[in-house]
Amino acid sequence: MREIVFDTETTGFKFSEGDRLVEIGCVEMVGRVETGRTFHAYYNPQRPMPADAERVHGLSDAFLRDKPLFADGVAELLDFVGDAPLIAHNASFDFGFINGELMQAGHSAICQRTRMIDTLQIARTRHPGAKHTLDALCARFGIDRSHRVLHGALLDAQLLAQVYVELMGGRQIGLGLGEAAPAAGAAPVVADVRRPVRPMRVFTVPEGDVAAHAAFMKGIPDSLWGPSIEGAVASG
């Protein structure tokens, strides 16, 4: 199954209050494995960047001034996303901005009911009472985030892709290699991993090697292996 893990950076918290999307990063996964295909874009928000927001992601007015408008790059984004499920952390926030920008650009909104997967809700269900920030989940699962100095949409999407896999059971979900992965929220499928019984392999050690090892062991005072080695040589 093809899925898209994504993250956004914005000028603030609410599209309905005039905030805008300024960056999006998407990571393609097939069967819960990253394919290496990504999408990344910056957008000119056509409004000043608040200082508080700039401190979070480092995107300044000067940097964004020559970037395209969302409406000018929306076709490439929609082509990459296709009809795949969209995975985000606190996904209602990201969907609010994407759908706000889409509708403002004359496109239909993406259905949250059928296509949204929220890793924050999954984490709260799997680990109640724990911290559920992206940083906290990376720490829980041993995911390296040392290169994350500021928030960045593509970097955060790449980290979230690893977190999502761990939340859904790890790299070998149910050990069912090649089988369809369970749907979001479903219990992992445990595959039948029994293997055919193979005959015991017999290894023959040359007599000279056994004797040489026994001689070496005799040089070790009070060796625990000395008597058994001598016996093995004598019986050989």
Active site residue 40: no
Cβ neighbors of 10 (< 8 A, separation 6 or more) are 19, 20, 21, 22, 53, 97
Strand partners, 137: none
- The span from the CA of 99 to the CA of 97, in Å, is 6
Name all contacts of 230-233 with Cβ < 8 Å and 24+ positions apart. 233/207
Contact yes or no for 95/88 (Cβ under 8 A): yes
Selecting among 89, 127, 151, 213, the annotated active-site residue is: 151
Q: How far apart are the first and last CA of the chain?
A: 59
Residue 167 backbone phi and psi in degrees, to 5 = -60, -30
| Active site amino acids | 151
